[in-house]
Structure 1
Amino acid sequence: MRKLGLFCGTFNPIHSGHLLIAQCAQDQFNLDRVFFVVSPNPPHRQDQGLLDAEARHQMAVAAVAGNPKFEVSRVELDRGGLSYTIDTVEHFKNLYPNAQISLIIGGDNVKYLKDWHRAEDLFKNCHFLVAPRLVSSPKQESSSEVAMKTLVKKETVALIGSQMSVIDFPGIAISASYIRGRLKQKQTVLYMVPPVVNTILIENNYYAVDKDVDTQKV
């Protein structure tokens, strides 16, 4: 049975943290392929000044080039309208009917899963691979133990049960909002994003103050 990972997000912009999460998930769970799905208009981020979806897609494609296990999907861009995760999961289930689908999500999203559109259908149709947020004092606990204790609400665990696993990855304190803030201040983001993405950002002056993007709200 093929094992596929879906990493859905705005990728505004895609950065080294995203790629590290995907690589660790691919290694740990033996995923045959990880699909990065760029969300053009996610329902939870309406009117928040996202960079043009095609520009974000271009950077994602450039970022994963050369990795045969990674691929960027246009499914949500081509679908149009609001992007619901269950629709994307069902799209891949139809394309790969015999595959095991795993959804890669951030640990901060776990407690909201029960409120997602058609949440019960999501729980039935895919496995969840959770990337825990960084903690200030990890001490002796593993990242998996910390994530399970601090991020997962009991009612969500009851719904998902064994359908959730935690990605064991070192974690880097990089966020898309931090990168956008640095770009707004004309500071370098080299090493925070792949070099090819850094070039695209500089050449197009993305996330600069004179662009029609509200970098403070996203």
Structure 2
Amino acid sequence: MKIGLYFGTFNPIHVGHLIIANHMIEYSDLDEIWMVVTPHNPFKKKSSLLENHHRFELVYRATESYPKIKPSDIEFKLPQPNYTVHTLAHISDKFTDKEFCLIMGEDNLKSFHKWKNYETILEHHHIYVYPRIAEGTIEHQFKNHSKINKVDAPIVQISSTMIRKGIENKKNVKPLLTKEVWQYIDEMNFYKK
């Protein structure tokens, strides 16, 4: 079974994440997508980050009606900071019957050469890349790489930051979230000042 790992803080998960995950399931050879909720990305400020269990709950609610897209809290139990190379090694040891691939946006591929042990990741795992509008260029070594698969997915210009700011400024962001995710955010008064 081929599993695509889609990492993110999902703060909050929005329809853009689901469009990409669903597209990967429907138009690639992946059998399942695991939405891996990351405890804390070293590149992001922690202040606006909801607690891990709340973001996992949002992902759980968002993916409930998609049988091939599953929430994962695997990184919650791993030492901090989380490095993708360590998570991939851990998850591959734990689920020996599955092949794990990495899903990333084109913007991440542009900085992939800066990731910890990126060579090890490429040696053991395929990468599925979805298009993003972003500055910068893709390193020559990653162009036409046999383990890097570009998927012709829709470009989604929705960000969690935009949603958080919208809620804070009392804007209607409901169309950008699933009904279940919006209800939980609203019930819990998340992202309001």
SS of structure 2 residue aligned to 1:8: strand
1:157 aligns with 2:143: yes
Q: Following superposition of structure 1 onto structure 2, how do residues 103-122 of structure 1 map, counting pairs within 5 Å? A: 103-122=102-121
CA deviations 1:67-105 (Å, max 9, x no partner) are 111111111112242111112211221133243321111
Cα deviation for residue 46 of structure 1 reads 4.9
Residue of structure 2 equivalent to 1:60? 59
Distance in 2 between the 1:153 and 1:18 partners? 25
Residue of structure 2 equivalent to 1:139? none
Residue of structure 1 equivalent to 2:186? 202
Which of 183, 186, 201 is residue 167 of structure 2 equivalent to?
183
SS of structure 2 residue aligned to 1:103: strand
CA deviations 1:130-186 (Å, max 9, x no partner) are 111148xxxxxxxxxxxxxx742214438xx21111122222321111111101101
CA deviations 1:179-209 (Å, max 9, x no partner) are 1110110112112011100111111111112
Residue of structure 1 equivalent to 2:41? 42
| TM-score under structure 1 length normalisation | 0.82
Count of paired positions:
193
Tell me if the contact between 2:132 and 2:156 (Cα under 8 Å) persists in the aligned partners.
no
Hey, which bits of structure 1, 4+ residues long, moved more than 3 A?
46-49, 155-158
| Aligned sequence identity (%) | 30
Distance in 2 between the 1:74 and 1:80 partners? 13
Cα deviation for residue 115 of structure 1 reads 1.1
Distance in 2 between the 1:63 and 1:104 partners? 18
Paired amino acid for 1:61: Y
Cα deviation for residue 129 of structure 1 reads 0.8
Distance change in 2, residues 1:175/1:41 (3 Å): same
| TM-score under structure 2 length normalisation | 0.91
Residue of structure 2 equivalent to 1:192? 176
Distance in 2 between the 1:178 and 1:43 partners? 20
Distance in 2 between the 1:3 and 1:153 partners? 27
Distance in 2 between the 1:188 and 1:125 partners? 43
Tell me if the contact between 1:62 and 1:197 (Cα under 8 Å) persists in the aligned partners.
yes
Distance in 2 between the 1:121 and 1:44 partners? 21
Distance in 1 between the 2:7 and 2:75 partners? 9
Gaps of 5+ in 1: 136-149, 210-218
RMSD of equivalent CA atoms:
2.0
